[in-house]
Every structure is written in structure tokens, then in C-alpha cells.
Amino acid sequence: MPNETLAAKTPVLDIRKLRVEYPLANGDTLVAVKDIDLLIRPGEIHALVGESGAGKTTVGNALMGLLQAPGKIVSGSIAIAGKPIDLRTGRTEGIVPGRDVGAIFQDPMTSLNPLFTVESQLCEGMLTHLKLSRAEAKARALDLMKAVGIPEPERRLGSYPHQLSGGQRQRVVIATALACGPQLIVADEPTTALDVSVQAQILKLIRDLADQRGVGVLLVTHNMGVVAEIADRVTIMQNGAVVESGSARAVLTAPKAPYARTLIAAVPPIEVRLDRLPVPSEETQVTLDARAAVRSKSTGSGTGSRDDVVLSVRDLAVEYGGRSLIPGRKASVFKAVKGVSFDVRRGEIFGLVGESGCGKTTVANTIAGLVAQSAGSIDFEGTALGAKREKSVRKSLQMVFQDPYSALNPRLRINSAIAEPILFYKLASNAEEARQDARTLLEAVGLPADAGGRFSHAFSGGQRQRIAIARALGPRPSLLICDEPTSALDVSVQAQLLNLLKDLRDLAGLSMLFISHDLAVIRQMCDRIAVMKSGEIVELAETETLFTAPKHDYTRELLRLAPSLDRILSRQAAE
């Protein structure tokens, strides 16, 4: 944590009045970063926070020389370890990205080359920049693997990225960033897609690197719990400008700027359940008229009876493998789901929570007919589902995926994308009626009807997810499967979408199977929760019962590790 000695050290990063612009095709100019100042000293973790489009990633790209044309730095200065960057080239004499500035990106699979072993990728920078021998580089790589806490480091050096878990891959990325002993690390959303237990390990590792090695860290994130857990200082950005900056405790406990107060208020609490989450503006709220229109088109009938079961899963098992490509050799079998049973009632939001690999997404994909079951039964609205989903079942059972960009056809305008399933299931008599339904659905999810004339790339991540929800609502389903629908979204956009899903449940009678590894989101959304571990349900209870009196050790451990803004700040105040 920051102290008096930090003030005497030369900053590892010193940004003054930085301005980044993008010229547009129509002759206008987009100012992505507006005259910001930012200072990081050795051993300090500085969090850069803001919504998508705020400019925080642009700042990181600018200091690493990764700005893509036609973006350019037009004014200001950047110095790394006291050495100024040439703003024309993005380079500075004696400072080399990868050697003096390390980077930890959000998705480790896109940061690591799938064709090379961990050893090759760890040694590459050391062989190039430090001029070590192959034996020296391997020995250093092994020490780094141990330092970041990867089990069986000698064996894992010879592994390929796909043979490691998500948390282990992220640790390898961190080890790669540390390989050449950088003075500064830029960590861009390093824990967004990680489970709470792995996230806790990665955060501790980053904090230890700052404390023990004196590494300065620029942490780009939208997770306020992560900021409260490890950051010394925080800067909040909006529309390319800094709206507030100061010590993490001061900004998080007593924010001065209205935007900062609203952004922090939008963080879902894990300690208490709210009827609605605060959002930055009312303009994104779903209108009552539009919601009523969705309700009139829905097959649901309000919340219905709590005993009216829409989906019944009994003793579900899913196995992978069992067929060897080599004659005479028996293939191993991986049991992804083992005897899972639960019901989803009409008008209920049922939560599935657990770490990566526990089987929760496999359960959802099996219910949707995307994965074949090995044993057990699935009944939907009183009908037993076989290996093939009938057209009527597919119409009534829709899915919202984690990544809306890959779920939407980039060649279709939004009106056509939403109208497509309406026409396919013959829920409109003609194309014009389907497009009118699409406009109604857009308004229902808080977007203007004229947005339907644009393509998916013209929208933000949160807007694309709203469009994906509108498309899923088009066939008028009775069950909506939501697989991590908000995990990559900013807290304010997340709050808007969570409120939207609650509204749709209350007014359109939708039932939902809601999957997430974010326990705070699960508490805000779900009526009942099943906790999964290693393919099995270890605990199933009403939401408030599970959070206030968990019975299983694994559930208690998940709750203990979950980052909580209020809990962390209370603990820090007591210290």
C-alpha cells in the first residue's frame, strides 16, 4: 500500500496532458482521451476505471505504442521510468515493450500462441531482450512458474496453452509479462473471466509483485471489488476525461463527482438483495408501454404459480470421449455432468453458480439441445425432450449467450436479425409485421426503434447484449437461458441489463435459467440457486437461505472469496 517512501521514488509512469484523437471519415474528429494526467510510482497499483468507450484502454495502448491508425497522440507527454516517449513513433530510446513494460490482457488464450509450449513462450523474450542462453532462460522460466504459483512447474513448462486451465493460462501470461523484469505492467481486465477463487489468487499475485518487486501496475478494470481489494489509487474516466482521481479508499468511500457516485452505486452488493440496482441515467430504462407490449405478445402469464414447473431435470449426466481414433486403444471418458437434478418454476429465475469446469454451461447447452446427454431426463412444459429438439420446443426455449457480438450476424441489420426468428416460427403474417414486432422489442429492451436500421458493430457491448435479448424474446419463449450475460459488461450497463431481465420476468411471465460466477449478481437476480462443483450439485436452496446460512463447505468458500466492495471497505476502515 502507498506510503511516504513512494513519494521519493522516480515514477515508473508519468502522463501529462495526454490527448488522443481519431479522425473520422466525415471530417470530424473523435477525441478519445482529453488532456489526462496520471502518475504511478514503483510498487504502486493505480486503477483506471470507467465504462466502455471512456478511453481507459486507449491510455494503455498509447503508452505501449499500440495505438492503431488513424489514432494518434496530438499533445501531452508520456515518460516511463523518467524516459520520455516520442509521441510521433510511440517509442522511447532504451524502453522496449515486453522488456521494460509488461502487458497482461483479458483473454489469455489470445495472448498465448497455441502452437508453442509454455517454455518456448516464456523464453522468447528473455532470449531476445536479455541475451540469455537457452539453459539460463529455461531456469529463469522455471523460477517464474514457481513464483506465479503454477503447480508442477517442471511438467507444465512442456504443456501447450490448451492443456492448462483458465487460471493457469492467466498465470503464464503474468509470468511472461515478468520475464524480462519490467518496471511497469499494464493489466487490462486481468480477472474479468475468472472464477472467484482463481481471481483471488491472481489479485494476491499482482499485489505481491508490487510490494515485493516494486513493479508499478496500471490496472484497467470495471470491477470495483477488484479496485477496492488491491488498488492504491484510482482514476475514474468518462468520455475520455478524468472526472475524479485520488486514493482508492477516498474515492470509493466518499466520491465527489456525480458520475463517480453513480458508477460506484451501480455495483451489485453481495450482502443484501435490492429490488432494483441504481443506474447512471433514466434514458436507458425500459418504458412501461413497451414492456406491456412484450407482455401481450408473450406466452407467459405473469409470475404464475410457484408450483407450476416449466423445466424438470432429473439425474442428468453428460460424458465426453469414449471413442478412440487409434484402433485397439481404449479412450478415456470425462464425466462433465454427474446426476444433476433441479426444477425451474414458471416466473422463476433459477441460478446455477460454480467455478469454470464445474459443468454449469454444459447443463445449459444440454437443455438447449446443443450437447447430447448420456443419461437422465429433461422435461419441458410437461413434454420429455429427446435427442432432437422439436420446432415448438426450440421456439419456447431461447438462449442468451455471453458474447453478443458473436451471437449476432454482422451482415444483418438489427431489425432483420430480430425479425428473422419471428418469421421462421410464423409468428407474423408478413415481413412488415415482423419488422414492427422487432421495433417493439427494441423499445422493450431500452433502445430506440430507429436503431434497427444499423448493423451490430455500430453498438456498444451493452447495447448488443440488449439486442441479443430482444432477438431471444422474438419467438415469445417461456424459458430464457442466460449464460453469463453480463460478465464482460461495465457495472452501470450490467445494472441496466439486470433490471431489464427482472422487468421481463415480472411483466412477461418469463422463467429463466441464469448462469454466472458472480455471486453478487446471482443474489440480485435469482429466487433459488444451485451450486455446482465437479459436475454435481452440492447445494440447492432459496437465495437468501443460501447466502445467510450456507450448508456446504464449498459454498461457504465461494462466498468468502467473492470480492465485495462494502465488505472490503469496512475491513479496511477497521484496520
**Which grid coordinates belong to 113?**
500462441
Residue closest to 344 by CA, chosen among 369, 311, 304:
311
208, 236, 265 — which closes off a domain?
265
In the block, cell 523460477 appears at 143
What's the CATH number where 447 sits? 3.40.50.300
On whether residue 244 sits in a domain, the answer given is yes
CA 535 to chain centre: 22
Tell me if 164 is assigned to some domain. Answer: yes
Helix (H) or strand (E) holding 320: strand 309-321
Residues 143, 51, single domain; the answer is yes
Same-domain check for residues 197 and 73 = yes
> Looking at the domain assignment, is residue 36 inside a domain?
yes
Would residue 503 count as lying in a domain? yes
Determine the Cα–Cα distance for residues 331 and 351; give it in Å rounded to an integer. 34
- The HSE-up count of residue 437 (CA atoms within 13 Å, CB side) is 29
- Whether residue 256 is found in the same domain as residue 164: yes
Q: Which of 248, 208, 255 minimizes the C-alpha distance to 228? A: 248
Grid coordinates belonging to 144: 517464474
**What are the start-end ranges of the H helices in 64-133?**
108-111, 118-129
- Which of 237, 265, 293 marks a domain boundary? 265
Same domain for 474 and 562: yes
Domain identity same for 223 and 303: no
On whether both 352 and 237 belong to a single domain, the answer is no
Phi-psi region of 437 (alpha: psi -120 to 50; beta: other; left: phi over 0): alpha
What is the number of structural domains in the chain?
2
Is 358:340 a contact under the CB 8 Å cutoff?
A: no
Are residues 143 and 245 located together in one domain of the fold? yes
- 160 and 33 inside one domain: yes
Of the candidates 215, 234, 265, which is a domain's last residue?
A: 265
Structural domain includes residue 468: yes
The pTM score is 0.76
Range of the domain at 118: 4-265
Please tell me the predicted confidence (pLDDT) of residue 288: 34
Does 270 map to a domain?
no
> Residue 113 is which amino acid?
N
569 lies in the same domain as 441: yes
Taken in order 453, 456, 462, 468, the sign of the CA dihedral is positive
**Residue 198 CA from chain centroid, whole number:** 14
Q: Does residue 379 sit within a domain?
A: no
CA distances in angstroms from 528 to 28, 200, 351, 514, 548, listed in the order given: 51, 26, 6, 10, 13
- Residue 50: which of 534, 403, 492, 371 has the closest Cα? 492
Question: What's the pLDDT score for residue 285?
Answer: 39
Are 429 and 569 in the same domain?
yes
CA gap 145, 143 in Å, rounded? 5
Q: Do both 563 and 458 map to the same domain? A: yes
484: left (phi over 0), alpha (psi -120 to 50) or beta: left
* Cell numbers found for residue 449: 426503434
**Residue the block writes with cell 443474489:** 523
Domain assignment present for residue 76? The answer is yes
Task: Looking at the structure, tell me whether residues 107 and 215 fall in a common domain.
Answer: yes
C-alpha cell at 308: 407450476
Please list the rounded mean pLDDT of every run of 10 residues in the chain (575 residues): 52 92 84 93 93 82 81 88 74 66 78 90 88 90 84 87 78 85 86 73 84 90 84 93 92 90 84 80 40 41 60 93 62 84 95 86 91 92 84 89 83 93 92 90 82 83 83 91 81 82 84 90 94 94 95 93 72 61
Q: Is residue 316 within 8 Å of 337, Cβ to Cβ?
A: yes
